Structures are given as C-alpha cells and as structure tokens.
Amino acid sequence: MTIRELTPKDWTAVRAIYAQGIATGQATLETSPPEWEVWDQSHVANLRYVAVSDSGEVAGWAALTPVSGRCVYAGVAEVSIYIAEAFRGQKIGDLLLKHLIAESECKEYWTLQASIFPENPASIRLHENNGFRIIGYREKIGKMKGAWRNITLLERRSKTIGVN
C-alpha cells in the first residue's frame, strides 16, 4: 500500500469511496458526494491523500477541512477519512490517519478534530488509537432521512506544534 497526494485524476475513485461511506448511513450527514470543484474548494489543498494498493486501486482517502476561515484558527482542521468497502478492516485507515497527522504537523496544524456518529465505534477507535480523545457530544446536530443524529466530538492536540 502506498500513500500519496490526492490529485484531480483520483476524484472518480475518491467520489465512489465517499458514496460508499454515505451509503452506510454511519459516516456523514451528506446525502451525496459533491462535484470535484466543490470538494476541492472545501478541503486543504496540500493535506489530502489516497492509499493506493499494489494493483493501483485507490483503497481509501483522507483529507482536512478548515474549521474556520478566521486566521486565529489556521492550525485547526477537521479530519475526513474514508475506506473503500473492499479494503475495510485491513488497517488502511490507520496508515492514512498516521500519514495525515504527520503531514499536518509539518504544515503547522496544532489541532485536528473529528465528528463521528456514536454508532460508528470502529471510526471512534481508529481516532482514539491515533491520539484523539473524546471531548464532547453534540445532540441532534442534523437530520438523516427524517431522524435526528448525534455526533461524538474528538480532538487531537499536537505534542510538537503550538505547545509553547
């Protein structure tokens, strides 16, 4: 498995993986993946990666979204990580998340956060195993198919960036 920067050429595979995550009902409140231009504008340009199998198939992706446009939050971003159905349970999420964390620190991000449905314990565990801690719970943050959904908030503070 190789981790490399996500490029526009990867979008078809990335979008399909995103759609698989949406279909689970446990990954996001989104109902469909956006078009490339929308996704591209909303994610940090130099902090998005794909995991590529030895056969060249995109197995998963990870990216950061700024939490705010205000300059005081320039080092704070939200994590998105999605793994293709055929590759789930193979530790690819762990490889991607570790890579994303290391690269984010190289680019001066001091806080990463994640919003995860409580019904997705595998994702919560993945984040906790990579230094995230549960910091809260948002009740009825959005509706999915007419039902209110809650999220668990997780945060990872860098031990090297923003400590002084």
Are β-strands 111-116 and 58-66 bridged in parallel, bridged antiparallel, or unpaired? Answer: unpaired
Reply yes or no on domain 2-113 having CATH 3.40.630.30.
yes
Are β-strands 111-116 and 76-83 bridged in parallel, bridged antiparallel, or unpaired? Answer: parallel
The sign of the CA dihedral 9, 65, 95, 13 is negative
pLDDT of residue 45: 94
- pLDDT averaged over 10-residue windows placed end to end, the chain, 164 residues: 97 97 92 95 96 97 94 92 96 98 96 96 97 96 93 95 72
pLDDT of residue 163: 67
The identity of residue 4, as a single letter, is R
Burial class (CB in 10 A: 0-12, 13-18, 19+), 59: buried
pLDDT of residue 164: 59
Does the model's pTM come out above 0.75? Answer: yes
